[in-house]
Structure 1
Amino acid sequence: MKIILAPDKFKGSLSAVDVCNAIEKGIKRFDQSVEIIKHPLADGGEGTLTILNDFFKLKERNVIVNNPLFQPCEATYLVSNDTAYIEMATASGLQLLSENERNCFYTSTYGTGELILDAVNNGFKNIILFIGGSATNDAGIGMASALGYEFYDINNQIVEPIGKELININSIERKNLKIDLNSIKCTVICDVKNELYGPNGAAYIYASQKGATSSQVDQLNQGLINFSNQVELFLDKKIATIPGAGAAGGLGAGAICFLNAKLQSGIDFVMEHTNFNTIVNSDIDLIITGEGSVDKQTIEGKVVSGVASKASLFNIPFIIVSGIAKDVKQIQNELNPNAMYSIMETGVTQKEAIAEASKYLNDIGFHLIQQFTSNKNN
């Protein structure tokens, strides 16, 4: 029997590699003869560079930049030939802030712009920007400010590049731009399809998770509307309804506006560049995928949905493993897995599930292959 293990990380608990190792041990406990191909994946969010680096052995560049609250921090990006791989979370990510510091009303993507500027100034003309895990809702005006764009209010005063001030933008200037947009190519990798504003936009879907109060969420949404209008007026770009424009607090839209970027699905990018597509074929008996929390968002652009589409293409059975599973019927109807397993359904507490995830995934690996083998033989 030949099995592919292709999970995402279990956020806050295990890396994707650790998830593979834990499930492999459980499978081998049941049957040592099973051939296992470990192919950890990511969807464009934080941790994606780690996965890519495991495949390509990229070189690191370390830069001191501004974190989301304009405090100095060291951020790393990876390079190869003329390409820079930049994970915005290393400069503008939620994990850089303590719980009481988190509020996307006041945070900025300025540090992400500093990383891009450093890459361009050092000769990297192909920018791959991964935009998951943001602490921000500034539509990328922080990033743009670091690159030389200027935003003015109705009194012709410079607008501070934070989410709160989006509503005050009255004009956009690019006469002091620090980069030549015609000399670089930018691709933005994201894992969501949200529009910029509205019920399914950046503010209403994600801002409260980043510390904003309900009234602040309303103002951020109004700010995104104003931003969209000013961009159309001064940059002649319509970005409001582009799928993915609302990713990372509107950085998806900002990258399109300020870098002429193209958006690409994170899981599609990672599967293509790690050659996942070449190992999925009719010789594979089973694919096991998963992530820490599986829910209705899993269906849209996440690792599990990407793997499911490939499994379906080759008519390969696949199983979903998770720490916690919600919206199970919807996932079963949409993705049609052969089985779903979660750590939490065993009756453990969330704290135990996170702390002992490796042990529980080992057990799940044992039981799922036992059940799969039994069903296959019957």
Structure 2
Amino acid sequence: MNFLFVSDSFKGSLTSQDTAELLTRAAREVFGADTVCQGLPVADGGEGTITAIKHASGGEFIAMTVTGAAGNPVTARYLAIDGKRAVIEMAEASGLTGTPPEKRNPLYTTSRGTGELLRDALRRGFTDIAVSLGGSATNDGGMGALIALGAVFRDEDGNPLSGRGADLIHVREADFSGLDPRLQEIKLTVMNDVRNPLTGPRGATMTYGPQKGGTPEILARLEQGMRHYREIIIEKTGRDPDALPGAGAAGGLGAALGIILRGEMRSGIDTVLDLLDFDARLKETDLVVTGEGRTDSQTASGKVMQAVGERCRKHGVPAAGLSGSMGDGAMEILDHGISSLMTSVNAPMSLDTALMHARELYYDAALRMFLFIRTGMEMGCRGAQAEQGILGK
């Protein structure tokens, strides 16, 4: 038996690598020590993306000091896969987790550090660069990143703006003539798993601003600024950010990279799976196990389980789901190549209890899942024997 384990992290409890290790232990206990198990840590383009890719495909981290989301210096990394390809994770430089709670205010955070990482990758000669947009602490429309790459935004008095959320409403002139010319010579992929426009009730500010520290008053001010910024982009490029699915990702960085820098918007998890040569790994695989912390109606909207299931179905490889819990709409994932779905929570319990005992609960569930699989295999063998007329001889 050849198993491939490809689960997302269980936020707050298990990493993608943890799930692979626990599944390997359980599979070998049920099927024997010679069972071939391969773990493939993945991420959907958010926090942990470059770590997952490095674990599976190698490469080297390049670390440097950049401008953090709150404006303070931080150490951030990006991944050099080879001499040509690099992957930048926005959360490293401009992420919510790296921003102290007392400084989480989208009026004053900036994506400048992400632009500084991209500028360094250009300086080092990388020509195939992917940028993952998940986990941001910013709502600046990508102004900070563009400024780091050579753009200039000015207010009504001609003064340059620094590129924070509060600056959106003050933009009167956007000058992109100074953007690093090497941007025209590279392949830029924007890894993004949301389809939100830049403005409006489903836009960057109103959808994601609250989790970044935005109060109703702050959100109203930012939305007014973002609508004004949208008009500036339309005037300069002739393209409407609200017509580009994903323009509102990462506080509007999706619009900056996808419209102004003309990057290709792609599913984060699909980009990661391509970088990991996932389809090629399926050729020698009998069963894939995937999962996430909570499976619900959002799972079938570009998450890890959906992408894994659909690729497995395309290649004729069965895929099973093992998640922490199930919510409304969880069974929709069965329409996307996942043949069964189990949970690690085995009794009524609080979230704190489930998180505290995540490892043992997951391992117990993995054992139960593999025992079911073995039972199914035994039934299949009996059926084959019966058809051949040898059962009971």
TM-score (norm 2): 0.88
Aligned pairs for 1:204-353 (under 5 A) are: 204-281=206-283, 284-329=285-330, 331-332=332-333, 334-335=335-336, 337-353=338-354
Give the structure 2 partner of residue 70 of structure 1: 71
* 1:3 paired to 2:3: yes
Q: 1:197 aligns with which of 196, 199, 207?
A: 199
Give the structure 2 partner of residue 165 of structure 1: 167
Q: CA deviation at 1:244?
A: 1.7
Aligned pairs for 1:87-106 (under 5 A) are: 87-106=89-108
Q: Which stretch has the larger CA shift, 59-68 or 338-347?
A: 338-347
Residues 130 and 188, structure 1, Cα contact 8 Å, conserved in 2: yes
Looking at both structures, which has the greater relative contact order when contacts are Cα pairs under 8 Å and sequence separation is at least 6?
A: 1
Could you report, residue by residue, the CA deviation over 1:99-138 in whole angstroms, capped at 9, with x for unpaired residues? Answer: 3322323211011111111222232233221111111111
Q: Which stretch has the larger CA shift, 65-74 or 223-232?
A: 223-232
Residues 288 and 319, structure 1, Cα contact 8 Å, conserved in 2: yes
The secondary structure found in structure 2 opposite 1:299 is coil
The secondary structure found in structure 2 opposite 1:296 is coil
Residues 168 and 222, structure 2, Cα contact 8 Å, conserved in 1: yes
* 1:17 paired to 2:22: no
In 2, Cα distance between the equivalents of 1:90 and 1:179? 25
The secondary structure found in structure 2 opposite 1:11 is coil
Q: Structure 1: which amino acid aligns with 2:16?
A: A
In 2, Cα distance between the equivalents of 1:345 and 1:226? 51
The unaligned stretches of length 5 or more in structure 1 are none
Q: 1:246 to 1:179 in 2, by over 3 A?
A: same
Q: 1:317 to 1:328 in 2, by over 3 A?
A: farther
The secondary structure found in structure 2 opposite 1:160 is coil
How many residue pairs match? The answer is: 377
The unaligned stretches of length 5 or more in structure 2 are 380-393
Q: CA deviation at 1:367?
A: 0.8
Q: 1:307 to 1:212 in 2, by over 3 A?
A: same
Aligned pairs for 1:98-137 (under 5 A) are: 98-137=100-139
In 2, Cα distance between the equivalents of 1:172 and 1:138? 14
Could you report, residue by residue, the CA deviation over 1:18-49 in whole angstroms, capped at 9, with x for unpaired residues? Answer: 11111222232333264433222221111111
The secondary structure found in structure 2 opposite 1:288 is strand
Residues 24 and 362, structure 1, Cα contact 8 Å, conserved in 2: no
Give the structure 1 partner of residue 51 of structure 2: 50
Q: CA deviation at 1:87?
A: 1.0
Q: 1:204 to 1:294 in 2, by over 3 A?
A: farther
In 2, Cα distance between the equivalents of 1:204 and 1:166? 15
The secondary structure found in structure 1 opposite 2:79 is strand
Give the structure 1 partner of residue 390 of structure 2: none
Give the structure 1 partner of residue 158 of structure 2: 156
Q: CA deviation at 1:334?
A: 4.5
Q: Structure 2: which amino acid aligns with 1:61?
A: I
Residues 299 and 330, structure 2, Cα contact 8 Å, conserved in 1: no
Q: CA deviation at 1:94?
A: 0.8
Q: CA deviation at 1:284?
A: 4.3
Give the structure 1 partner of residue 29 of structure 2: 29
Q: Structure 2: which amino acid aligns with 1:169?
A: V
Q: CA deviation at 1:285?
A: 4.0
When Rg is computed on C-alpha atoms for both structures, the one with the higher figure is 2
Q: CA deviation at 1:186?
A: 1.6
Q: In percent, how many aligned pairs have the same letter?
A: 32
Q: Structure 1: which amino acid aligns with 2:362?
A: L
Residues 69 and 94, structure 2, Cα contact 8 Å, conserved in 1: yes
Q: CA deviation at 1:69?
A: 0.7
Q: CA deviation at 1:351?
A: 2.3
Residues 26 and 364, structure 1, Cα contact 8 Å, conserved in 2: no
Q: Which stretch has the larger CA shift, 360-369 or 10-19?
A: 10-19
